[in-house]
Amino acid sequence: MTINTSQLKQKLEEELSVLEKDLKSVGRINPANPKDWEAVPPTKTLDESDPVDVADDIEEYEENTAVLKQLEIRYNEVQRALEKIKKGAYGKCEVCDKEIESERLLANPAASVCKTHINR
């Protein structure tokens, strides 16, 4: 089975925009580092808010941080795959340099290693 790179590229671009939307819903771009995302820090303080609200705020921040971390990992994977397409290096295992199985790429266009090296 031959891989249709342009079709996979489209899939990756679609996923990237969905991920971007998700990232924006739980966080923001780190003002100090535009390549980094962060959850919006808790804004409620004990001085002006109910302690329960403050605790909720902190809990939400911690949840968002965890969600954000997962999204960010995926976002970087997808972006890296798109960069490889641009460079013409797409579909090669990063460990052994062999072609990644096409069914694997179809299931996950951002895959960066072959089946043998999934659990490296």
- Give CB contacts under 8 A, 24+ apart, made by 13-20: 13/82, 15/74, 15/78, 15/109, 15/110, 16/75, 16/78, 16/79, 16/82, 19/71, 19/74, 19/75, 19/78, 20/75
Taking CB under 5 A as the rule, does residue 26 contact Zn ion?
no
Contact pattern for Zn ion over residues 53 through 92, marking x by CB under 5 A:
----------------------------------------
| Residue placing its CB nearer to Zn ion in the complex, 86 or 98 | 98
Taking CB under 5 A as the rule, does residue 117 contact Zn ion?
yes
The site for Zn ion (CB under 5 A) is made up of: 93, 95-96, 114, 116-117
